[in-house]
Structure 1
């Protein structure tokens, strides 16, 4: 039985899926298997995956389109390995990626999650940014706060390695109601069941940024608003599971909610919705003010948008 199972959901990824899967097959660490969920692709993804049909490491599941959360949940049913990782079909990994994550999570028996750094690249492969997290072993409660900080490692799945037992024992799954930040919610729920986290000072994941943005007018504006509303819903769900034992993490989550609400408020025209947003901003405003990674200028702009009716 393999030590690690990598889950790869894909939808209309004909141009990128082979690069992604081939990068897993080129790993220096050899005790792994791959589950690919073709989430109802309408392009040639299924044909591109056919080349792996005889590879004993790889299981391919073709299903109707239900979204990335449902695809990951489906794959989790088939996992029997001790550890689980996730890769997005658009991205690819360096040859030591699995070895670095495995070394990180097996440093001692109390480590329940390992994390590595990542490269952000454009479609041409040019490096745009490289993360540089504070490395070392960290208490899981403290790491939740770090994840929720704007300058933290985020709730990405693809730069982490998880223990299957924690996922199974706590019936953890991806929220199919969410299309944004479902990974962040999953990570927070997982971390609440953890003891410690190991942040490894290695960089092995290549995150590819599409040229398509979510700003602008027309459909892009609608896409941005949909993104923000979904992100807000995810943050509220996270806020609801953070009790008084997670005060620092709760502050960062509430600060994020206020920032999203402020952005939505500036483009909202419905009077009832404006009132709702202002009420929520006032509710969490103290957390927003206390956050040390939000600039003074951002705080002033947000406060003005709440208390000056014509802004």
Structure 2
């Protein structure tokens, strides 16, 4: 990258103990067109070989590496925000992947549309299958979206998620909009704040982000009580942000809040970080009152599988624990 080359897109990649994923990510990035792009790797105090691998590629064109003492993914992203030179920001997690042409398509779309936010498709990658999530069939001919429509998608479907990936943001949307220093869900409030404040949002087709589900050692498998409280609380914060701008979305906001509590209850049953003696009490804290909203959930657009799981969770800890154990056994046998 020449000294005079203007940087359009800054790609932020926080890294912590993901050495086995980095070679694939490096190869994927090196296949991309990185003209007018900078790749910012923030090593968050890795104790495996991640830091060494990053130092081996820090001289690559477009790559920049910064090491910090372990402070969490939110702190790593905040440090990167202080470093970005691009007009736009894109986020990639190091254990995920991107399709061919992903970065160039987003960079070019940002230049052409002058959008505040770009969204694209994403694929969910599990060990046994890959699920392709695409907006194309839901948008018709138009590729322009409103902030309200994106909020609707996030609150009621999986086509767009309230996560940083599969999106590009104008850098100005993160001025004074930083990541809270918590272990889980630190991206939801800043992401939704950026979307709510966006004036122009466009969908970019024919590319996709590949999200890796529940890798071994992932925080998703070891949430403690504080993590689950943070998870539910960020949904409460987002509900207030959405209702201030779009009060007509109240039913969807209520659905999202109920679903977040359902998910917290399910995590209680599977987390290794919560002792058996505490699980029932923590579960009861998050499940309190869910049963009274069963008619509301049943009339919603929640898939039947989700409705049934909601009813199971609302019925109590004992039955939920049995069902979660049965599902785990079935997955092992398949």
Corresponding residue of 2:301: 292
Cα distance between partner residues in 1 of 2:109 and 2:87: 14
Q: 1:26 to 1:300 in 2, by over 3 A?
A: closer
Q: What is the Cα deviation at residue 44 of structure 1?
A: 0.9
Cα distance between partner residues in 2 of 1:81 and 1:262: 39
Corresponding residue of 1:309: none
Which runs of 5 or more residues in structure 1 are unaligned?
A: 307-311
Asked whether the 8 Å contact 2:235–2:256 carries over to 1, the reply is: yes
CA deviations on 1:13-50 (whole Å, 9 max, x unpaired) are 11112321332232135210111100000011111112
Q: 2:58 aligns with which of 43, 48, 53?
A: 53
Find the residue that maps to 2:202 and give its secondary structure. strand
Q: What is the Cα deviation at residue 137 of structure 1?
A: 1.0
Q: What is the Cα deviation at residue 305 of structure 1?
A: 5.3
Q: Following superposition of structure 1 onto structure 2, how do residues 110-189 of structure 1 map, counting pairs within 5 Å?
A: 111-122=115-126, 127-133=129-135, 134-135=138-139, 136-168=143-175, 171-177=176-182, 179-189=183-193
Q: 1:274 aligns with which of 284, 301, 312?
A: 284
Q: What is the Cα deviation at residue 238 of structure 1?
A: 1.2
Aligned residues: 294
Corresponding residue of 2:332: none
CA deviations on 1:112-137 (whole Å, 9 max, x unpaired) are 111111233346xx751111123421
CA deviations on 1:223-244 (whole Å, 9 max, x unpaired) are 4866644321221121232225
Asked whether the 8 Å contact 2:262–2:286 carries over to 1, the reply is: no
Asked whether the 8 Å contact 1:140–1:197 carries over to 2, the reply is: yes
Find the residue that maps to 1:6 and give its secondary structure. strand
Match status 1:66 vs 2:39:
no
Cα distance between partner residues in 1 of 2:245 and 2:164: 24
Asked whether the 8 Å contact 1:289–1:299 carries over to 2, the reply is: no
RMSD: 3.2
Find the residue that maps to 1:9 and give its secondary structure. strand
Asked whether the 8 Å contact 1:180–1:234 carries over to 2, the reply is: no
Asked whether the 8 Å contact 2:15–2:41 carries over to 1, the reply is: yes
Find the residue that maps to 1:129 and give its secondary structure. strand
Which runs of 5 or more residues in structure 2 are unaligned?
A: 1-5, 270-278, 318-334
> Which structure has more helix as a fraction of its residues?
2
Cα distance between partner residues in 2 of 1:56 and 1:275: 51
Q: 1:211 to 1:51 in 2, by over 3 A?
A: closer
CA deviations on 1:278-298 (whole Å, 9 max, x unpaired) are 24x479778645532253545
Match status 1:83 vs 2:88:
yes
Asked whether the 8 Å contact 2:174–2:190 carries over to 1, the reply is: no
Find the residue that maps to 1:258 and give its secondary structure. helix
Q: 1:43 to 1:149 in 2, by over 3 A?
A: same
Bigger shift: 40-49 or 203-212? Answer: 203-212
Asked whether the 8 Å contact 1:174–1:182 carries over to 2, the reply is: yes
Q: 1:276 to 1:84 in 2, by over 3 A?
A: closer
Q: 1:262 to 1:7 in 2, by over 3 A?
A: closer
TM-score calculated relative to the size of structure 2: 0.76
Find the residue that maps to 1:99 and give its secondary structure. helix
Cα distance between partner residues in 2 of 1:262 and 1:46: 37
